[in-house]
């Protein structure tokens, strides 16, 4: 066993060296083959800038990162109950519920997210959201309410597009979460259901007290993957001018021509965000496993 572990350790070290060597070779080819002049010194000013009145404040790239975080957070917040409902419908005893859940999941999973973004943007932002007059009401609202809307959502002039993007991502990711919920519920042994019925529990009581708590622990890894996918899929809404990280990266690259510096920085920001989600999910899974054992 120890020999096997040492072999895997040497293999990991070799792969790490190969990856580092590949990146070094890529950098060398960019610098020599493309005659590219690196200029990393200007990148920090696009992360933070100093304002004479406000002091240090976020600049384009960090503003885009914060928009990505807000977009991903609200999309996941709405996608989780949508996915839970779709998953429970898929595992229902009634044929109509199963057909309803299956239609939703099949339709959303088999459409390109870019098409959904454009459909929802032109439908919601042009037809439904203007009827609610959200932007007009916020424009006449107190200053503190406008500030809260900008901090937690988006600037008032971008709010309708932001809400359309959130609803699109929530429905799209909710379809995948629905399949995760269905698989998690079906993975619980039949004996758990039979034991609950022997105690006189109804189906919703079984799901709430016995099935879903056990299934949730098994669903954490795929749910983490879906959360990371939500963060990455949020880049799609740049096509409707949501000023998230990818949009800001494209704007900055077009203005400065710092192609590699900008996109390497954007890549690192995305990696920090997704790796943090993976780490937090790992800690949660460990805590739940320890609580289950003791």
Higher-confidence position of 75 and 121: 75
In a domain, 68, yes or no: yes
CA 19 to chain centre: 27
**Structural domains in the chain (count):** 1
2 confidence band (pLDDT: 50, 70, 90): very low
In a domain, 130, yes or no: yes
In a domain, 7, yes or no: no
Give the number of residues written for the chain.
294
- pLDDT one-digit tens code per residue, 101-153: 999 999 998 888 888 888 888 877 777 777 777 777 887 888 888 888 888 88
CATH number (domain holding residue 237): 1.10.3720.10
pLDDT of residue 90: 93
Concatenate the DSSP letters of all residues of 241-261 into one string. Answer: T--SHHHHHHHHHHHH--HHH
66 pLDDT exceeds 70? yes
Tell me how crowded residue 163 is: count the other CB atoms within 10 A of its CB. Answer: 20
In a domain, 12, yes or no: no
- pLDDT one-digit tens code per residue, 170-225: 999 999 999 999 999 999 988 888 888 888 888 888 888 889 988 988 898 899 88
The span from the CA of 283 to the CA of 279, in Å, is: 6
The residue range of the domain holding 128 is 37-293
- pLDDT one-digit tens code per residue, 236-285: 888 888 889 999 999 999 888 888 889 999 999 999 999 998 888 888 87
Tell me how crowded residue 7 is: count the other CB atoms within 10 A of its CB. Answer: 10
In a domain, 56, yes or no: yes
Extract the tokens encoding 243: 């000023």
Q: Which of 73, 94, 75 is nearest to 83 (CA)?
A: 75
Q: Which residue has the tokens 């758990």?
A: 192
Extract the tokens encoding 125: 């932002």
The span from the CA of 245 to the CA of 268, in Å, is: 11
In a domain, 174, yes or no: yes
In a domain, 194, yes or no: yes
The Cα angle at residue 37 between residues 33 and 43, in degrees rounded to 5: 135
Cβ–Cβ under 8 Å, residues 260 and 30: yes
């Amino acid at each position: 066993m120890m020999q096997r572990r040492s072999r895997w350790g040497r293999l990991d070290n070799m792969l790490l060296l190969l990856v580092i060597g590949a990146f070094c070779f890529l950098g060398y080819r960019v610098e020599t083959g493309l005659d590219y002049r690196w200029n990393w010194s200007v990148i920090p000013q696009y992360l933070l800038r100093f304002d004479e009145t406000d002091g240090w404040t976020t600049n384009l790239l960090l503003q885009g990162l914060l928009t990505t975080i807000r977009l991903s957070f609200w999309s996941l917040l709405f996608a989780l109950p949508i996915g839970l409902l779709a998953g429970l419908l898929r595992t229902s005893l009634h044929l109509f519920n199963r057909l309803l859940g299956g239609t939703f999941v099949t339709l959303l999973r088999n459409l390109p997210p870019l098409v959904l973004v454009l459909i929802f943007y032109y439908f919601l932002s042009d037809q439904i959201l203007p009827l609610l007059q959200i932007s007009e009401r916020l424009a006449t609202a107190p200053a503190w309410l406008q500030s809260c809307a900008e901090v937690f959502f988006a600037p008032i002039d971008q709010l309708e597009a932001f809400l359309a993007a959130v609803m699109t991502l929530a429905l799209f990711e909710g379809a995948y979460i629905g399949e995760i919920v269905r698989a998690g519920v079906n993975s619980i042994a039949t004996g758990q259901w039979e034991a609950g019925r022997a105690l006189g529990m109804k189906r919703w009581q079984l799901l709430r007290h016995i099935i879903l708590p056990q299934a949730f622990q098994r669903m954490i890894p795929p749910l983490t993957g879906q959360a990371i996918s939500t963060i990455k899929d949020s880049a799609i809404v740049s096509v409707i001018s949501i000023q998230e990280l990818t949009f800001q990266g494209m704007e900055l690259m077009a203005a400065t021509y710092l192609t590699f510096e900008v996109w390497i920085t954007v890549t690192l920001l995305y990696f920090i965000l997704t790796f943090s989600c993976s780490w937090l999910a790992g800690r949660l899974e460990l805590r739940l496993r320890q609580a289950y054992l003791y």
